[in-house]
Amino acid sequence: MERKSKHISQRLKIRIVFLIEHELGRRIARMFLRKLNAWKDGGVDSREPVARFLRSYSIFIGDHTGKEDKFFDMIEEKGSLSAEENELSCRNDKSCSSSSEQDQHKV
């Protein structure tokens, strides 16, 4: 049982990292958009900040999708998330609650 609990804990940590990384991606995108709009509106020459944010976002996406690929490969090898793992991973994720409720009604 301890091994199973350790495995669940490890996967939840990965899920938390993904949530944090998603927030980072959203923040980079918002900062990029702000600079792009300022440049587009003609008020400020934002070429350099726009280029930096594009580069940062590109690096972020490459790294993040690589981690997601590893995670989904791990899920695929196992078959899928157990009901317990799904419940634990969705506790803090509002977007999961409606889909997991729908899944429960299907069973």
Residues 28-56 have pLDDT tens digits of: 999 999 999 999 998 888 899 999 999 99
Distance CA 33, CA 17 (A): 24
Residues 6+ apart with CB under 8 A from 36: 46, 50
Residues 6+ apart with CB under 8 A from 103: 86
Q: Are residues 18 and 92 in contact, defined by beta-carbon separation less than 8 angstroms?
A: no
Could you tell me the two tokens for 21? Answer: 């990384």
Q: Which structural domain range is residue 29 located in?
A: 2-106
Residues 7-32 have pLDDT tens digits of: 677 778 878 888 898 899 999 999 99
Binned at pLDDT 50, 70 and 90, residue 75 comes out as: confident
Distance CA 101, CA 23 (A): 25
**What domain count does the chain have?**
1
Residues 6+ apart with CB under 8 A from 28: 53, 56, 57, 60
